[in-house]
Chains A and B, each alone.
Chain A
């Protein structure tokens, strides 16, 4: 079973459109991270959320953490082709020094 489930699995949007990616944990979250990956490349750290209700923004990307729902969302406003890639959430869900990644969301932005 997957500790972290992401939805949707893939997303194709027109440039300029807004989109949201969700990450849901089956267990208590202890810090939630969002990463972006270009196919076959390393992971780029986007942001980290620690507290319930926390919201962070970087350029046109906003992430929120709902501790009660054990869920985080990543929202991209006015998407651009440069946003294309695979988005991964990651978290320690057991406080057991193990880091789990979500199932990933592949984003394509059509110019």
Chain B
């Protein structure tokens, strides 16, 4: 099973809402990632979790709050977002956070902020 699942597939939220994106993998991977992808641009790394600890935060605004409750789950909590945060949010996982570890991606959550 090389599947990374993400829910929901689509999310529309207002600027005052609080919502969460969820990512799950059952491959025993110990590194998980959040990426943000704007239209016609490559994905940009937001956060990296390695062994359930946040190891990289790419200067992401605090209105995005990641959480890794266990080795299979990764959440991204959203609060007070701006319309420019509308994008495809991709989750990925890899065996560990090493250069030679293949990252497997989920299908993404399409987020629209009104």
Footprint of B on A, CB under 8 Å?
30-31, 33, 35, 40-45, 48, 50, 88, 90-92, 95, 97-99, 101-104, 106
Contact = CB atoms under 8 A, between A and B. Distances in A.
Given A41-B108, A42-B90, A42-B105, A97 B97 contact: yes
24 contacts: A40-B88, A40-B108, A40-B110, A41-B108, A42-B4, A42-B105, A42-B106, A42-B108, A43-B92, A45-B105, A48-B100, A48-B102, A88-B43, A90-B103, A91-B99, A97-B48, A97-B56, A97-B97, A97-B99, A98-B56, A99-B33, A99-B103, A104-B40, A106-B40
Contacts of A33: 102-103
Interface residues of B, number: 28
B113 interface: no
The winner among A35, A45, A99 for most chain B CB atoms within 10 A is: A99
B99 A31 contact: yes
Ranked 6 nearest A-B pairs via Cβ: A92-B99, A101-B42, A30-B99, A42-B107, A43-B105, A42-B105
